[in-house]
Amino acid sequence: MNLLSVLPLAVVMVAGPQLVAAIFLASSRTAKRSSVAFLAGATLAVVTALTLWYVVFRAIRHGGAGGGGGGDDRTRHLIDWIVLAVLLVLMALVYARRRHSQPPKWMGRLEDAGPRFAFGLGFLLFAAMPSDEATMLSVAGSLAGHDKPWWHLLPFALLTLLLLALPLLSLLVLGRRALAVLPKIRDWANTHSWLVSEAVILIFVAIVVSDLLK
C-alpha cells in the first residue's frame, strides 16, 4: 500500500453533492468569495477527519504490534480487514445514492449564499457525509496500517480540494463563459458520478485484497 494507490479515492470524495454545491456556488452572485469560503470549510473538515482517523489507526497499529513480527502482521491485516469492510459499505452507500439524480431543493438557494454559509456548507458536506467519512477512514487506515507518515495524507487532501476547486478554476479561466459549461458538468455529475466512484472503489478493494493475500 502506498500513496499513489489511495489518490484515486479523491474522486469519490467529491463525486456527488460536494461537486454539485461547488458548481452552484461558482454560479452565484458572490461566486469567488463564496467558492473560496466553501473550499476553506472543506479543507478544515478533510484535514481534521483524516488526521483523527490516522491517529486512531496508528494507535491500533502500534498497540497490537508489541509481540514482534507475527503481531505486526496480524495488526496490519486486521486494519486491512477493517478497511475492506468499510469499502464494501461505501460501495453500498454510493449505489444507494445513485437514484438521487437531482440535487436537493436547498441547493437552488446557493445562488444567493454568502461566504459564511458557504464555509459551513463546505465543512458539513465533508464532515457529516457518511460516504466521505468512510472514504477518509479507508485512506487514513490504509496509510497508518502500513506505517506511512502522516504527511502522505496531504497529497490525497490536496487532490480532493483541487477537484472540488475545478468549478472556481473554470470561472477564473473562462470568465462568464464558464456559466454555460458548469450546468452541463453538474448534470453529468448528477447522472454518472456514482459509476466513476464505484469503479474507483472497486480498484481499491482489489488492492486491499491483494495486500491481504500476501
* Per-residue pLDDT at 1 exceeds 80: no
Could you give the angle at which helices 178-212 and 166-174 cross, rounded to 10 degrees? 150
Interval 92-131: pLDDT, tens:
988 887 766 555 666 666 777 788 989 999 999 999 888 8
Range of weakest confidence among 61-65, 83-87, 129-133: 61-65
* Residue 102 DSSP one-character state: S
> What pLDDT is attached to residue 71?
55
Q: How far apart are CA 52 and CA 56, in angstroms?
A: 6
Q: Name the residue ranges covered by the structural domains of the chain.
A: 3-212
Determine contact, residues 49/193, Cβ cutoff 8 Å.
no
* Per-residue pLDDT at 137 exceeds 80: yes
> What pLDDT is attached to residue 119?
94
* Per-residue pLDDT at 44 exceeds 60: yes
- Listing DSSP states for 37-89 in one string gives HHHHHHHHHHHHHHHHHHHHHHHHHHHS-TT-HHHHHHHHHHHHHHHHHHHHH
> What pLDDT is attached to residue 85?
94
Average pLDDT taken over every residue of the chain: 85
Cell numbers representing residue 111 in the block: 445562488
Between 55 and 5, the higher pLDDT residue = 55
